C-alpha cells in the first residue's frame, strides 16, 4: 500500500469503527506499507490530527451532509474527515490538491457518484471558509469547537477546575507530544547517553521536569536505535517518570507494583534501586506480562519477578510484606489525550463511577500489603478529580493510620501542589496530565 491518504483512512477506520488503539494500529499499518519516511510522517499527521479534531470536523460536515452520517459509506465519510482536517489545519498541503486527491481516491475505492458527492461537499466548504459552525455567545460550544472536545468532557473540566484552567487543560491536551526517553544509569551515564544520541543524529534537549529525561526533538524512530535495544534508554513521559521518584526508594527494599504492565514504572523503580532488593510486578492480564519481561530483559533488570494478579482481590500472603507499594491504577486516561486522541470521544463519563469503585478496592488491598512506616504511591493518568483527589480524601478519611506526605518536583507552571499534599500535573507541550499522591503508613 503506497498511497498515504489510503493508509491514513485504513487506520482511522479501525480506530473509529473497531475501537482499535491509534498508536498500535498506526504502527502496524506503517510497517506494512511501502511508504518513505516523508509519507509516513504525513500519514501520522493526518491520523492523529483527524482523530484529535474529529468533533470539530464532524460539526462542520454535519452542515453539508443533510441526510446524516448514517447515509454515507464509512470510507466516504472518513475521506471527507481527513480532507477537512488537511484543508483547515495543515498549511503545507494546498486545498485544491486535497480535493483532487480525495475525489480520485473515492472514485478508485468507491464509485463515481460518491466521488462527485465528496467533490461537492469539499468545494461547498471552501466557498465560505469564514463560516461559523457554533453559537459564539456560548462558552461551552466555543470550547467544544475550538479544541474539539465533547460537551460532556468540557462540562466536566469546567465543573472541576473552572473555565480558565479548563481551557488550559483543553489546550494542553491538544499539544503535539515529543518523544521523551528515560536514561538507564545502570548501563551508561546521562552524559554518555546524551553524546551517543547526538552521534546518532538526534536533535535533543534536557528534560523539562525530570533529571532522568531527554527530549527527542528530531530524529529517526527511537525504538530502532541501538541505545534503546541495549536498554540504555526507555521511552516514557516525564509525568510518569516522577512516580518512581515519589516512592523514597533505596537499595534492598521489598516493593510491590500492583498494576505493572507494560513495565515502564517497574523498570524505573529497579534502576533507582540499582538492581537490589526485590520487586514483585503484577498485572491482571497474563498476555501483558510478556511486555514487562521484555522490558526487564532489554534493560538488564534482575531483581524483579512477574505474576498474574487481580489487584482488586485481596491476597493474604502479601499482608504487611512491602516497604513500598505502587498502584498506578486503571483510570479514564483523560490526561494522555495528547498521545491517544480517540479518548476524547471513546470514553463515557457515566462509566467513571465503576472505575472509581475499582480504584478504591485496589487502594484498600494495597494499604494492607504495606509495612508500618512504608510508602504507598497512588497515581493515575487522568485529570478527573473523582478518580484523583476524591479517592485520596476518601481513603485518608477512612484510614486514620495513614497520612499524605507532600512531594515537590520543582516550581513549574503546570504542576499544581494542593494544600493536602497531592499533586496534579496539567498537560502541556512537555508532559501528560497526571496525578500523584504519596501516602505513609504511620
Asked which of 124-138, 313-327, 387-401 is least confident by mean pLDDT, the reply is: 124-138
Annotation-wise, does 261 bind a ligand? yes
**Does the pTM exceed 0.75?**
yes
pLDDT of residue 191: 97
pLDDT of residue 66: 87
pLDDT of residue 237: 97
pLDDT of residue 162: 98
Annotation-wise, does 310 bind a ligand? yes
pLDDT of residue 1: 47
Q: What is the mean pLDDT of residues 197-215?
A: 96
Residue 278 pLDDT > 90:
yes
Residue 155 pLDDT > 90:
yes
Do the domains spanning 4-127 and 238-441 agree at the CATH topology level?
no
Residue 347 pLDDT > 90:
no
- Looking at every residue in the chain, the average pLDDT score rounds to 95
Question: Which entry of 144, 210, 306, 381 is annotated as an active-site residue?
Answer: 381
- How does residue 18 score in pLDDT terms, banded at 50, 70 and 90? very high
Q: What is the mean pLDDT of residues 30-37?
A: 90
Residue 129 pLDDT > 90:
no
Q: Which CATH class is domain 179-235?
A: alpha beta
Annotation-wise, does 263 bind a ligand? yes
pLDDT of residue 128: 86
The three-state (H, E, C) secondary structure of the chain, written as one string: CCCHHHHHHHHHHHHHHHCCCHHHHHHHHHHHCCCCHHHHHHHHHHHHHHHHCHHHHHHHHCCCCCCCHHHCCHHHHHHHHHHHHHHHHCCCCCHHHHHHHHHHHHHHHCCHHHHHHHHHHHHHHHHCCCCCCCCCCCHHHHHHHHHCCCHHHHHHHHHHHCHHHHHHHHHHHCCCCCEEEEECCCCCCHHHHHHHHHHCCCEEEECCCCCCEEEEEECCCHHHCHHHHCCCEEECCHHHHHHHHCCCCCCCCEEEECCCCCCHHHHHHHHHCCCCCEEEEEECCHHHHHHHHHHHHHHCCCCEEEEECCCCCCCHHHCCCEEEEEEECCCCCCCCCCCCCCHHHHCCHHHHHHHHHHHHHHHHHHHHHEEEEEEEEEEECCCCCCCCHHHHHHHHHHCCCEEECCCCCCCCCCEEECCCCCEEECCCCCCCCEEEEEEEEC
Q: What is the mean pLDDT of residues 248-269?
A: 97
Using one digit for the tens of pLDDT, what is the confidence trace for 356-384? 999 999 999 999 999 999 999 999 999 99
Q: What is the mean pLDDT of residues 126-155?
A: 94
Annotation-wise, does 114 bind a ligand? no
Annotation-wise, does 265 bind a ligand? yes
Asked if the 4-127 domain carries CATH number 3.30.70.660, the reply is no
The fold of the 238-441 domain, in CATH, is: Rossmann fold (3.40.50)
Domain boundaries, the chain: 4-127, 142-173, 179-235, 238-441
Annotation-wise, does 212 bind a ligand? no
331 is catalytic: no
- How does residue 207 score in pLDDT terms, banded at 50, 70 and 90? very high
Annotation-wise, does 178 bind a ligand? no
pLDDT of residue 2: 61
Amino acid at each position: 500500500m503506497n498511497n498515504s491518504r489510503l493508509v491514513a483512512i485504513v487506520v482511522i477506520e479501525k480506530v473509529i469503527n473497531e475501537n482499535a488503539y491509534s498508536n498500535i494500529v498506526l504502527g502496524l499499518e506503517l510497517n506494512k506499507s511501502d511508504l518513505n519516511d516523508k509519507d509516513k510522517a504525513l500519514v501520522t499527521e493526518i491520523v492523529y490530527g483527524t482523530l484529535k479534531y474529529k468533533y470539530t470536523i464532524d460539526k462542520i460536515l454535519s452542515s453539508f451532509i443533510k441526510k446524516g452520517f448514517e447515509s454515507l459509506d464509512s470510507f466516504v465519510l472518513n475521506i471527507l474527515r481527513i480532507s477537512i482536517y488537511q484543508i483547515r489545519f495543515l498549511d503545507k498541503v494546498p486545498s485544491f490538491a486535497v480535493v483532487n486527491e480525495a475525489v480520485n481516491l473515492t472514485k478508485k475505492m468507491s464509485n463515481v457518484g460518491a466521488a462527485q458527492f465528496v467533490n461537492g461537499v469539499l468545494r461547498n466548504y471552501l466557498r465560505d471558509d469564514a463560516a461559523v459552525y457554533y453559537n459564539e455567545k456560548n462558552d461551552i460550544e466555543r470550547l467544544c469547537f475550538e479544541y474539539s472536545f465533547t460537551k460532556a468532557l468540557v462540562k466536566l473540566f469546567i465543573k472541576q477546575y473552572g473555565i480558565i484552567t479548563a481551557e488550559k487543560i483543553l489546550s494542553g491536551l491538544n499539544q503535539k507530544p515529543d518523544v521523551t526517553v528515560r536514561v538507564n544509569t545502570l548501563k551508561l551515564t546521562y552524559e554518555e547517553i546524551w553524546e551517543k544520541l547526538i552521534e546518532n543524529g538526534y536533535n535533543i534537549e534536557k528534560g523539562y521536569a525530570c533529571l532522568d529525561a531527554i527530549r527527542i526533538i528530531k530524529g529517526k524512530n527511537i525504538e530502532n536505535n541501538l541505545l534503546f535495544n541495549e536498554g540504555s534508554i526507555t521511552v516514557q513521559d516525564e509525568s510518569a517518570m516522577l512516580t518512581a521518584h515519589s516512592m523514597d526508594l533505596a537499595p534492598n527494599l521489598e516493593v510491590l507494583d500492583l498494576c505493572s504492565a507494560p513495565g515502564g514504572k517497574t523498570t524505573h523503580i529497579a534502576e533507582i534501586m540499582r538492581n537490589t532488593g526485590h520487586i514483585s510486578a503484577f498485572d491482571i492480564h497474563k498476555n501483558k506480562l510478556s511486555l514487562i519481561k521484555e522490558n526487564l530483559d532489554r534493560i538488564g533488570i534482575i531483581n524483579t519477578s512477574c505474576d498474574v494478579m487481580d489487584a482488586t482481590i485481596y491476597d493474604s500472603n502479601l499482608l504487611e510484606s512491602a516497604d513500598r507499594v505502587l498502584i498506578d491504577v486503571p483510570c479514564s486516561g483523560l490526561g494522555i489525550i495528547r498521545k491517544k486522541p480517540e479518548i476524547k470521544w471513546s470514553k463515557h463519563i457515566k462509566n467513571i463511577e465503576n472505575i472509581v469503585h475499582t480504584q478504591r478496592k485496589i487502594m484498600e488491598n494495597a494499604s494492607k500489603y504495606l509495612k508500618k512506616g512504608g510508602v504507598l504511591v497512588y497515581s493515575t493518568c487522568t485529570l478527573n478529580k473523582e478518580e484523583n483527589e476524591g479517592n485520596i480524601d476518601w481513603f485518608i478519611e477512612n484510614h486514620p493510620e495513614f497520612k499524605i506526605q507532600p512531594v515537590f518536583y520543582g516550581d513549574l507552571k503546570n504542576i499544581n501542589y494542593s494544600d493536602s499534599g497531592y499533586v496534579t500535573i496539567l498537560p502541556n507541550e512537555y508532559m501528560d496530565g497526571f496525578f500523584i499522591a504519596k501516602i505513609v503508613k504511620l
